[in-house]
Amino acid sequence: MTADTGRNLEFIDPALVTRVTSIGGGPIGGGWTAHFLARGYDVTSYLHSEAEIEGFHDIINTAWISLEALGLAKGATKDRLTITTDMATAVKGAQFIQESAPEILELKQALYQQLGELVPEDVVISSSTSGLTMTEIQARCASPSRTVVGHPFNPPYLLPLVEIVGGDKSAKAATDWAHAFYEIAGKAPLVLNKEIPGFIATRLQEALWREALHMVANGEATPDQIDTALINGPAPRMAIFGQCMAFHIACGEGGMATNLDQFGPSLKLPWTRLEAPELTKELRDRMVDGCNDIASGRHFTELAADRDRGIVGVLKAISTNNEVRRKS
Amino acid sequence: MTADTGRNLEFIDPALVTRVTSIGGGPIGGGWTAHFLARGYDVTSYLHSEAEIEGFHDIINTAWISLEALGLAKGATKDRLTITTDMATAVKGAQFIQESAPEILELKQALYQQLGELVPEDVVISSSTSGLTMTEIQARCASPSRTVVGHPFNPPYLLPLVEIVGGDKSAKAATDWAHAFYEIAGKAPLVLNKEIPGFIATRLQEALWREALHMVANGEATPDQIDTALINGPAPRMAIFGQCMAFHIACGEGGMATNLDQFGPSLKLPWTRLEAPELTKELRDRMVDGCNDIASGRHFTELAADRDRGIVGVLKAISTNNEVRRKS
């Protein structure tokens, strides 16, 4: 990690960005394009082939229905989209580049080599990669300091999360800039401390997913039972308060400290195939302090009321959509 | 599992139940009490001590705010609650019993022994236990065939899931009855195939939770980053369509088959500390067939539109509640 390589970078004020380039014609590239259009940017989208154009418009038109429901930025219109299959044309004049090319390391490395030559060094290039690291991707790029990962969640036009992390040659200034820019662009950016495989959200989801596959493999549950259990159980609560705070609040006055002291032994129980870490004092304190930080002085009754009001809203959203399913 | 012991049981028509007994003065017993009151039942609640009464009313009053927001059943009122600290009085005349006593095996075994003597054999007794099995709990009960697990999710007055599973001596008629009754009583019952530790929802949640603890222990993430990632990433989607269908839909026409064939190799990647099962043809087919069953002929574009509409609703519910948090 080198502040060095990027120390002379002078990025544009993220609030002044008006022109964004999106690379990739699939659901992620299309989703990003729709998102940026809805936030009022001029967007140039690079597609690998003209054969992708029709499907690309379909993605954007589908996304637009939801984006309109959530509210468009002033001046936002699909007319501000330019599509090209020429990379030099695509990146010309871009003030930010979101790359969503296929998840093939060779291909991404060649692409970042090309972008390193085509794109001025003061333009941040952010990769949607979910499975590769920026350290790998930027290996052949001549100007890697401004390259970062900006990993969205599907569908990227709806789910606000963007996980940001640099590679070994990325400048802190670039991740800082991406953080500021994504926030202005209406996303919920999350800067990671470390470049870990799967980042944070996918690691959590993947642990759950692997446990689900184990249950199906063992005949303990069907896909329908798994999804029904999630929809009617942990998921609405998780959507409001995540998992740490869900446990913190459930334990009343004692919060996470009570949770760990009381339920800590249950970490030894075979409630999943995933072995738990040792519940050291250090881990306990990190969890407790972390939850208290999030609560920032709010009493648990206030937090519980917030949780309940949120869950009521989520349940109404679910039941509007999924009446049949909820009754399984 | 013995249909035998229960074959002569003649339970009341679940639609005719009007009197329910809830055992336990904590958040789960109180939550169940609030739920049943809100659905228009007469509820008798057993508390261990009169010292619990004030806190018990607090739980119900807090729950009532949300229950009113979701809509009360006709005739539902908190006036239909009777509180007692005498067990024989508590269960007298009960047509259904929800037991939410502390999670101590000795205590539950003694309680089910007592209930076995006090309660006519044609009344189903359902345990809120999250950590014990009914096979263990019913060990000393003289009439175990009508005892089942009916495991709610906290808060039980809001989250609809109830996981139902019998012990070795439970009658299938009892789990069938509980299934029908909970559905009538406004819950989303899910009957499990097997008595597995943690049931389905807690196993999934626990896998995610343990991965979260690993990340905190390793300094890879803070509790705030974990919750923020969930709230803005997988959770809103999970609340609408679970996890299997989220992947099924994300892969377009190809659905879960494409997901497993394309991303199957990623199961070998270190994206969590949980080892994945072998992706056998049998597991693949169960996943694919399961998702197709859930889709029941709906085209993926229709499913994706349902998903998006649902997520829009969830996001609105989250943002109303959690504006500060979403911007982290």
Q: A14-191: what fold? A: Rossmann fold (3.40.50)
Q: What pLDDT is attached to residue B1?
A: 42
Residues from chain B contacting residue A244 (CB–CB below 8 Å): 212, 223-224, 226-227
Q: Do A314 and B314 touch (CB under 8 A)?
A: yes
H/E segment holding residue B178: helix B172-184
Number of A/B CB contacts below 8 angstroms equals 445
Inter-chain contact A209–B69, Cβ cutoff 8 Å?
no
CA distance B140 to chain A (A): 24
Residue B65 and residue B85: Cα distance in Å, rounded?
26
Domain ranges of chain B: 4-191, 201-326
Contact call for A232 and B160, based on CB within 8 A? yes
Q: Residue A98: which region, alpha, beta or left (left: phi > 0; alpha: psi -120 to 50)?
A: beta
The whole-number average pLDDT for the span B181-201 is 96
Q: Which residues on adjacent β-strands are paired with residue A91?
A: none
Write out pLDDT tens, residues B274-315.
989 999 999 999 999 999 999 988 888 888 888 898 888 888
Sheet holding A147-152, edge to edge: A81-84, A42-46, A19-23, A96-99, A124-127, A147-152, A161-166, A188-191
Does the structure show a pLDDT above 70 at A208?
A: yes
Cα three-residue angle B143-B188-B164, rounded to 5 degrees: 30
Band of residue A88 on the pLDDT scale cut at 50, 70, 90: very high
For residue A205, which residues of chain B lie inside 8 Å, CB to CB?
Answer: 208, 233-234, 243
* Beta pairing, strands A42-46 & A19-23: parallel
Q: What is the pLDDT of residue B327?
A: 39
The secondary structure of A165-199, three-state, reads EECCCCCHHHHHHHHHHHHHCCCEEEECCCCCCCC
* Confidence tier at A327 by pLDDT (50, 70, 90): very low
d(CA A284, CA B305): 42
Instruction: For residue B189, say if its preceding peptide bond is cis, omega within 30 degrees of 0.
Output: no
Are A208 and B204 within 8 A, CB to CB?
yes
**Model-level pTM?**
0.93
Per-residue confidence band for A264, with pLDDT thresholds at 50, 70 and 90:
confident
Instruction: Report the distance separating Cα A287 and Cα B97, nearest Å.
Output: 37
In this predicted structure, what is the pLDDT of residue B99?
98
Which member of A219, A237, A243 has the closest CB to residue B209? A243
| Whole-number Å distance between alpha carbons of A235 and A230 | 5
Kindly identify which residue of chain B lies nearest to residue A263, measuring between CA atoms: B131
The CATH number of domain B4-191 is 3.40.50.720: yes
Q: Is the pLDDT of residue B240 over 50?
A: yes
Q: Across the interface, do A216 and B286 touch by the CB < 8 Å criterion?
A: yes
Helix (H, G, I), strand (E, B) or coil at B164: strand
Beta carbons of A163 and A192 less than 8 angstroms apart: yes
Please write the tens of the pLDDT for every residue from B117-173.
999 999 999 999 998 999 999 999 999 999 999 999 999 999 999 999 999 999 999
By C-alpha distance, the chain A residue nearest B192 is A221
Question: pLDDT > 70: what percent of chain A?
Answer: 95
CA distance A155 to A151: 12
Residue B289's Cα: distance from chain center in Å?
25
Whether A146 contacts A3, CB under 8 Å:
no
List chain B residues with CB under 8 Å of A327: 183, 188
Among A26-30, A74-78, B25-29, B263-267, name the one with the lowest average pLDDT.
Answer: B263-267
Write the DSSP string, A58-81. Answer: HHHHHHHHHHHHH-PPTT--GGGE
> Looking at chain A, which residue has its C-alpha nearest residue B302?
A62
